[in-house]
């Protein structure tokens, strides 16, 4: 299994799964979203938005591939580029932060540590750009009356309400990755991850990402073959030949 991180670009936007590929709930105002859906130009408008953000700021997302297949993704951008933030009563986003608008590991790839891999890549990229913090809007609980996912967890994004609120991540997941609440709300709290600081952010992120994997059962490493163990011991003996004895 070969996994890789790819910055979102015009050549890799096709790796985003639907409905995210053609969703513009974050990228446009509500009136513009409605008109775009009526005209059937949502996918085109997503490309226009991505192109504009790339020209003025840089890539607005990261995609994880496994054997060249899309497995996970995260989207992010400066708050002024995301009109959909107005839908959240716990806003606005802090001016020194980048807004994480969506993050997801696709169903068949869950339980393989790709959440850790994805967020480590996102944080490292944003630190390289000298971003001070990342904020997101989380959801505290599933929507009543909405079907749950096949594995019994939170509903899939397509089962949530329309608009940017459908893109929110569960609060428990955000906390496990290291985010903390900065603006409480009974449904959609705003959460923050600090990235500034020479010695603090790396330790905080690594510890938080470790917590994310606590429930994942990793296979034990295979026992060393006796022949290999003997060869290793023989190698040590050979290296010690010719050395003067210790006094």
The pLDDT tens digits for 66-108 are 999 999 999 999 999 999 999 899 999 999 999 999 999 998 8
| Predicted pLDDT at 37 | 87
Q: Hey, what's the torsion of the CAs at 11, 16, 18, 24, to 10 degrees? A: -80
Two structure tokens written together for 204: 């905080």
What's the CATH number where 75 sits?
3.40.630.30
Q: In sequence order, what E strands does the chain have?
A: 3-7, 61-66, 69-77, 97-105, 133-139, 169-170, 180-183, 190-194
Number of alpha carbons in the 13 Å side-chain half-sphere of residue 33: 16
- The rounded mean pLDDT for the chain is 79
Two structure tokens written together for 117: 């891999």
The domain containing residue 76 runs over which residues?
A: 3-237
pTM of model > 0.75: no
| Predicted pLDDT at 167 | 83
225 lies in a domain? yes
159-179 mean pLDDT: 78
Work out how many domains the chain is built from and give that number: 1
219 lies in a domain? yes
Q: What number of other Cβ atoms are within 10 A of residue 86's Cβ?
A: 12
- Residue 65, phi then psi, degrees to nearest 5: -115, 145
Residue 164's pLDDT band, with cuts at 50, 70 and 90, is confident
246 lies in a domain? no
245 lies in a domain? no
Judge whether residue 142 has pLDDT over 70: no
Two structure tokens written together for 68: 């060249």
Two structure tokens written together for 243: 């050395």
Judge whether residue 193 has pLDDT over 90: yes
17-26 mean pLDDT: 92
Structure confidence by residue, pLDDT tens digits, 33-70? 989 989 999 999 999 999 999 999 999 999 999 999 99
């Amino acid at each position: 299994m070969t996994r890789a991180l790819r910055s979102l670009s015009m050549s890799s936007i096709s790796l985003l799964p639907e409905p995210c590929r053609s969703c513009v709930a974050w990228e446009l105002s509500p009136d513009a979203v409605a008109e775009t859906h009526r005209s059937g130009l949502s996918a085109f408008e997503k490309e226009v938005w991505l192109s504009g953000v790339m020209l003025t700021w840089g890539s607005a997302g990261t995609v994880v591939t496994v054997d060249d297949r899309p497995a996970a993704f995260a989207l992010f951008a400066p708050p002024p580029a995301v009109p959909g933030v107005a839908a959240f009563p716990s806003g606005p986003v802090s001016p020194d932060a980048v807004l994480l608008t969506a993050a997801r590991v696709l169903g068949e790839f869950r339980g393989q540590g790709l959440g850790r891999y994805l967020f480590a890549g996102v944080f490292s990229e944003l630190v390289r750009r000298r971003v001070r913090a990342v904020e997101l809007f989380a959801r505290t609980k599933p929507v009543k009356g909405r079907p749950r996912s096949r594995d019994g967890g939170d509903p899939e994004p397509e089962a949530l309400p329309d608009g940017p609120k459908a893109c929110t991540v569960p609060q428990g997941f955000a906390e496990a990755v290291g985010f903390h609440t900065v603006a409480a709300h009974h449904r959609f709290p705003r959460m923050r991850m600090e990235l500034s600081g020479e010695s603090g952010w790396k330790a905080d992120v690594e510890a938080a990402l470790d917590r994310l994997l606590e429930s994942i059962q990793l296979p034990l490493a295979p026992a060393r073959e006796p022949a290999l163990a003997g060869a290793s011991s023989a190698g040590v003996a050979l290296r010690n030949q010719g050395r003067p004895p210790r006094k």
